[in-house]
Structure 1
């Protein structure tokens, strides 16, 4: 799945760059960081997960909405999706806290 999502990001990369060059603000609700965090949380090597997205346009800023996994589990329909169980979300959260994920981009 990591490779499919990465391929999709590469497919859109030139469009993102074109929009930015035209002065259009691009806002993404998920980007390469999510792919790395989820894939690494499943046990894949962190560096391997990052490798496929190297060279993609970097965002100017990342706004990370931190929600405790136990709080997220209280949402309606939590658990309906494949990766929505508290243990997985704890592992994902740990990967988002990994400083290697945050290199080169300001996180807020």
Structure 2
């Protein structure tokens, strides 16, 4: 069974809806699960969200996400030590995808810089990447407040996600599938024994 599971994808991919439903299903089956997300609702996470809304320099935002994650990783380690399954809606790969695209032109290799800053993170047992065409994703989030409602930007982020999804921990899901099918696929995958 996988203990630390992250859910990634561009805005409008359905990852938040599915991750919450997976959490509910695991609880229904009697598992001790914790649902968490990034940016967190701690002080640094709230500050990061405000800075995004205000259009603050992407470098500042990237550093705020890393700072927020330092606190978050401490909690995740505790939850895992206590024996919980931890489900996280967005994690370090969101920073790699979104912030590396935003930082293009500000430094030579933004992805490598972000990886260096993130060497303290716990590697997830599984990362579900919800893949969807940005045009469809945007049609899903019409009316939702987001700074990332831009097709060209989301195309770059999607490509970055696909580029980084090469490790064995990634499972790329077709986010056009129905919610129930995606929930079932995620739960089944989490329950599988990887020989641990």
Structure 2 length normalisation: TM-score?
0.50
TM alignment of 1:37-76, pairs within 5 A: 37-42=97-102, 43=104, 45-76=110-141
Which protein, 1 or 2, shows the higher relative CO under an 8 Å CA cutoff with sep ≥ 6? 2
* Paired position in structure 2 for 1:28: 88
> 1: CA distance between counterparts of 2:143 and 2:100?
21
Instruction: Find the residue that maps to 1:28 and give its secondary structure.
Output: strand
> 2: CA distance between counterparts of 1:75 and 1:89?
13
Instruction: Find the residue that maps to 1:62 and give its secondary structure.
Output: strand
Instruction: Find the residue that maps to 1:26 and give its secondary structure.
Output: strand
Task: Detail structure 1 runs of 4+ shifted over 6 Å in the superposition.
Answer: none
* Paired position in structure 2 for 1:107: 170
Structure 1 residue 79: Cα displacement: 7.2
Instruction: Find the residue that maps to 1:77 and give its secondary structure.
Output: coil
Whether 1:90 and 2:170 are equivalent positions in the alignment is: no
77-86 or 38-47: which moved more? Answer: 77-86
* Paired position in structure 1 for 2:63: 3
> 2: CA distance between counterparts of 1:75 and 1:15?
32
Relative to structure 1, is the Cα distance of residues 40 and 66 closer, same or farther in structure 2, using a 3 angstrom cutoff?
Answer: same
Whether 1:16 and 2:76 are equivalent positions in the alignment is: yes
Q: Which runs of 5+ in 2 are unaligned?
A: 1-60, 172-196
> 2: CA distance between counterparts of 1:17 and 1:103?
25
Q: Which runs of 5+ in 1 are unaligned?
A: none
Number of aligned residue pairs: 106
